[in-house]
Amino acid sequence: MSKEYNVAVAGATGAVGIEMIRTLEKRNFPVRNLHLLASSRSVGKILTYKDTEIAVEELTEKSFHNIDIALFSAGADISRQFRQAVVDSGAVMIDNSSAFRMEDDVPLVVPEVNPEDIRKHNRVIANPNCSTIIMLVAVAPLHRAKRLKRLVAATYQATSGAGAKGMAELELQTRQVLDNEEIVPKAFAHRIAFNLIPHIDKFYDNGYTREELKMLFESRKMLHLPKLMVSCTCVRVPVIRAHSEALNLEFEREITPVEAREILTAAPGVTVIDDPAANVYPMPVDASGQDNVLVGRIRQDISRHDRRGLDIFVSGDQVLKGAALNAVQIAELL
């Protein structure tokens, strides 16, 4: 009989927490007991797992007694607050926030990218930023074949990246624009309906945002390339769910689009969607609800005089592979 595990989900009532519960069920993770944890205002709320109704409990330092794996998606401050309680209980924290990603003794893991790093954990494992996950699922197999040297990214990030409140704001504002009603932005700095906002997270003195620098530093850590050159522009777009990214890649060795398609077709977690003549390419509407990252628009970089450059376009479900699914896959690796 295979071993079963006591699992806790912290932040269970949020968009990612709910998706974590669904993903545990869909992938038939060996759960013995499931504990759903949230703030005091959610206590008693009923959520369903495998046709069983489970009441949400208050997240406290005593919540992790007899827990084997604690999936956290409650924000960085909460993760920091409860880290020691999880570790002291003997559980392993798989954290979806930015709290511990760049700590040297915390593995930052995407199972398709760097599964070997999980062995270094000291009872805390970090989920990368959603945009980094979606990008590296597609880029890592190409890097392994041709060695990545430089990456330039432009992201088209869905409102799901701001949680349930971001998605709700897009829906509300879309109706308000069509009904010619006044709009008061709350979840974003500006109106998101029928608009693009080239601003995700806070700006630094160098003109880049925190979101953009996450993609730089997290990519370096996971690919074990401390000098990798990365430049990003992260843009919020009026899409409910699934992030997209336009990626310009420079490799140390020559690579052709034919080679890239062959590599990506064989790569785990990737679905190649690449037939522009038939109007077939990755789009967030198709990536939503999909476990795999969609990759297409694979073409040679014609600005170069050699064949070491590629352009690709990717779409991936931010809530699934960008968050909940990746966390559950880490638990499976454990």
Q: Does 138 share its domain with 258? A: yes
Q: Does 216 share its domain with 154? A: yes
The catalytic residue among 35, 121, 143, 243 is 243
Question: Residue 207 and residue 190: Cα distance in Å, rounded?
Answer: 19
Find how far residue 198's CA is from the centre of its chain.
19
Q: Does 108 share its domain with 154? A: no
Q: Does 163 share its domain with 238? A: yes
CATH of the domain at 90: 3.40.50.720
The DSSP line for 299-334 is EE-TTSSSS-EEEEEEEE-TTIIIIIHHHHHHHHH-
The catalytic residue among 130, 143, 232, 234 is 130
243 catalytically annotated:
yes
Which segments in the chain show pLDDT lower than 70?
Answer: 1
The DSSP line for 237-248 is -S-SS-EEEEEE
Q: Which domain holds residue 10?
A: 5-127+323-333
Q: Select from 23, 13, 31 the least CA-distant residue to 327.
A: 23
Q: What tens digit of pLDDT does each residue of 288-333 get?
A: 999 999 999 999 999 999 999 999 999 999 999 999 999 999 999 9
Q: Does 200 share its domain with 85? A: no
Q: Facing residues of 272 across strands? A: 295
Q: Does 170 share its domain with 118? A: no
Q: Does 165 share its domain with 312? A: yes
| R_g of the chain computed on alpha carbons | 20
HSE (CB half, 13 Å, CA atoms) of 46? 3
Question: How confident is the model at residue 1, as a pLDDT?
Answer: 44
Q: Does 146 share its domain with 70? A: no
Task: Identify the sign of the CA torsion 101, 137, 130, 308.
Answer: positive
CATH of the domain at 186: 3.30.360.10
Q: Select from 333, 332, 330, 331 the least CA-distant residue to 128.
A: 330
Separation in Å, CA 121 to CA 93, 281, 333: 10, 38, 12
The DSSP line for 43-99 is TT-EEEETTEEEE-EE--TTTTTT-SEEEE-S-HHHHHHHHHHHHHHT-EEEE-SSS
Q: How many CB atoms lie within 10 A of CB 286?
A: 15
Q: Does 55 share its domain with 161? A: no
Task: Determine contact, residues 310/299, Cβ cutoff 8 Å.
Answer: yes
Q: Does 314 share its domain with 206? A: yes
Total domains in the fold of the chain: 2
Amino acid at 129: N
Q: Is 247 left (phi over 0), alpha (psi -120 to 50) or beta?
A: beta
Q: How many CB atoms lie within 10 A of CB 52?
A: 9
Question: How confident is the model at residue 217, as a pLDDT?
Answer: 98
Q: Does 169 share its domain with 198? A: yes
Burial of 169 (0-12, 13-18, 19+ CB in 10 A): buried
Q: Does 96 share its domain with 146? A: no
232 catalytically annotated:
no
